[in-house]
């Protein structure tokens, strides 16, 4: 069990400690919800003001050219590519995760069925994030496919000759369990299916290798992810989409399109042709006009990772993430014993993302609300999870000590039983 002095010493020796100074974090608050909304980079307000006052306010529509607005989805996509094991020109920032998932899953299913019409099943986890399941259901209904939802230990049994696409979230949003990416992708490919990954809870927090482990069969087919969690792009930041070049090249050759063929997915949008011709490569996954203010904010969030590169990059961030979550579990189990908290996240840190979740028999919502009242911000996930995210760019070891101290006080005092903490807000 670590003391507060131990935590302060860990912070003093932390090579990533300078990165915290790049963020605006309110005094007196321990923020453990970066896995839901990343903190504000200090550079973002100035950048947004520049876009508003100079690029929009002064240069007006000229800024699509003079400020390079039209290139932002690709340029920012290249920054994300470096974090997820993709190549330059392979990632596009556009729309929301849900919209991108519809586009990517539709394309993957179409390719799989073209190669083998018998393949008419999409498989995902029953506990996957709901929007992924809703979108998969929409794709299945629109294309005469079947959506099969399974438990994690049942996936292998559904890798058969009817499977078109295996769609999984790399890090489970509830408990933080990590799917072994290369191994799972390889298994899907051996069954003749395509592999689609949702990277919402992993991009920016741990190493991601969409290209696999060096063997062609371990390279994923499609991926999507969001920009407002560990990438710190701000509330509602645009999402991203990736497709392996082997698929975009094939789509180029066949003239295939994704189903949401908006004008900025056109090969020449400013020809204003009535006939649709898909852009080459990942460009075909564009759709509507990009949100420039939001893209500028996301650009600032990703610039922080450039600063992290000099301090060890994503590998160093992952080491710190593991250290923070290990410390949190150790301290909670030492200081909160006897209060019916059950660890839901994997105990093995190599199988755990950058979050820790505990279940509580009384639901957990009121406990989280009582913690927030004490200045410790985590979140609640139904039906019974207290979820805490550890963003290694700015979370400190002393934050862990403060958070566990507050949690122990909430539980020991029983203050979470007060009626005010049981009143449900719209967002949990």
CB 164 within 8 A of CB 122: yes
Radius of gyration over every alpha carbon of the chain, rounded to an integer in angstroms: 22
Q: How confident is the model at residue 363 (pLDDT cuts 50, 70, 90)?
A: confident
Confidence of residue 83 (pLDDT cuts 50, 70, 90): very high
pLDDT band, residue 371 (cuts 50/70/90) = very high
In order of start, what are the domains of the chain with their CATH numbers? 4-40+313-422 (3.90.1150.10), 68-302 (3.40.640.10)
Q: State residue 101's pLDDT score.
A: 98
Tokens of 111: 């390719």
Helix (H) or strand (E) holding 427: none
Query: Is 388 known to be catalytic?
Result: no
Catalytic residue among 20, 119, 229, 396: 229
Residue 387 a catalytic site member: yes
CB 349 within 8 A of CB 355: no
Q: Which residue in the list 23, 31, 102, 129 is annotated as catalytic? A: 129
Structure tokens at 269: 């949008």
* Predicted confidence (pLDDT) per residue in 112-170, tens digit: 999 999 999 999 999 999 999 999 999 999 999 999 999 999 999 999 999 999 999 99
Residue 198 appears among annotated catalytic residues: yes
Strands 385-389 and 379-381: antiparallel
Cα–Cα distance, 113 to 353 (Å, whole number): 33
With a CB cutoff of 8 Å and minimum separation 6, the contacts of 299 are 47, 72, 75, 76, 79
pLDDT tens digits, 173-202: 999 999 999 999 999 999 999 999 999 999
Q: Which of 95, 132, 172, 198 is catalytic?
A: 198
Measure the CA–CA gap between 395 and 324, rounded to whole angstroms. Answer: 8
**pLDDT number for residue 146:** 98
Return the half-sphere exposure (C-beta side, CA atoms, 13 A cut-off) of residue 357: 25
CA 344 to chain centre: 20
Annotated catalytic residue within 23, 102, 222, 228: 228
Q: What pLDDT, on the 0 to 100 scale, is given for residue 428?
A: 81
Residues pairing with 245 in the sheet: none
User: Which of the residues 79, 177, 318, 387 is marked catalytic?
Assistant: 387
Distance CA 31, CA 2 (A): 20
What global pTM score does this model have? Answer: 0.97
């Amino acid at each position: 069990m670590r003391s507060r002095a131990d935590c302060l010493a860990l912070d003093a020796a932390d090579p990533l400690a300078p990165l915290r100074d790049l963020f605006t974090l309110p005094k007196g608050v321990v923020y453990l919800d970066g896995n839901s909304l990343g903190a504000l980079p200090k550079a973002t307000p100035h950048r947004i003001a520049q876009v508003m006052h100079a690029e929009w306010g002064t240069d007006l529509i000229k800024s699509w050219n003079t400020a390079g607005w039209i290139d932002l989805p690709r340029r920012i996509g290249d920054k994300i590519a470096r974090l997820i094991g993709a190549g330059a020109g392979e990632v596009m920032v556009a729309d929301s995760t849900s919209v991108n998932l519809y586009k990517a899953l539709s394309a993957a299913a179409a390719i799989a069925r073209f190669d083998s019409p018998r393949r008419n099943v999409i498989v995902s986890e029953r506990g996957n994030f709901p929007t992924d399941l809703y979108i998969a259901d929409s794709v299945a209904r629109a294309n005469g496919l079947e959506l099969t939802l399974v438990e994690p230990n049942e996936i292998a049994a559904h890798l058969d000759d009817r499977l078109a696409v295996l769609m999984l979230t790399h890090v489970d949003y509830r408990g933080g369990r990590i799917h072994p990416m290369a191994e799972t992708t390889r298994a899907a490919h051996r069954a003749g299916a395509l592999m689609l990954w949702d990277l919402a809870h992993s991009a920016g927090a741990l190493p991601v290798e969409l290209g696999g482990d060096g063997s062609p069969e371990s390279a994923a087919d499609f991926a999507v992810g969001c920009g407002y969690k560990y990438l710190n792009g701000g509330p509602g930041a645009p999402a991203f989409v990736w497709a392996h070049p082997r698929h975009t090249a094939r789509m180029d050759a066949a003239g295939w399109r994704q189903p949401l063929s908006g004008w900025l997915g056109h090969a020449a949008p400013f020809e204003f042709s009535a006939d649709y011709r898909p852009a080459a490569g990942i460009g075909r996954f564009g759709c509507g006009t990009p949100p420039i203010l939001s893209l500028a904010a996301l650009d600032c969030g990703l610039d922080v990772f450039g600063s992290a590169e000099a301090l060890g990059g994503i590998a160093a961030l992952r080491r710190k993430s593991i250290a923070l979550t290990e410390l949190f579990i150790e301290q909670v189990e030492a200081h909160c014993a006897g209060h019916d908290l059950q660890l839901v996240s994997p105990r093995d840190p190599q199988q755990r993302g950058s979050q820790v979740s505990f279940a509580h028999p009384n639901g957990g919502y009121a406990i989280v609300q009582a913690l927030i009242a004490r200045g410790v911000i985590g979140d609640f996930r139904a039906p019974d999870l207290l979820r805490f995210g550890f963003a290694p760019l700015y979370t400190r070891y002393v934050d862990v000590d403060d958070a566990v101290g507050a949690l122990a006080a909430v539980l020991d005092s029983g203050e979470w039983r007060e009626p005010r903490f049981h009143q449900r807000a719209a967002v949990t």
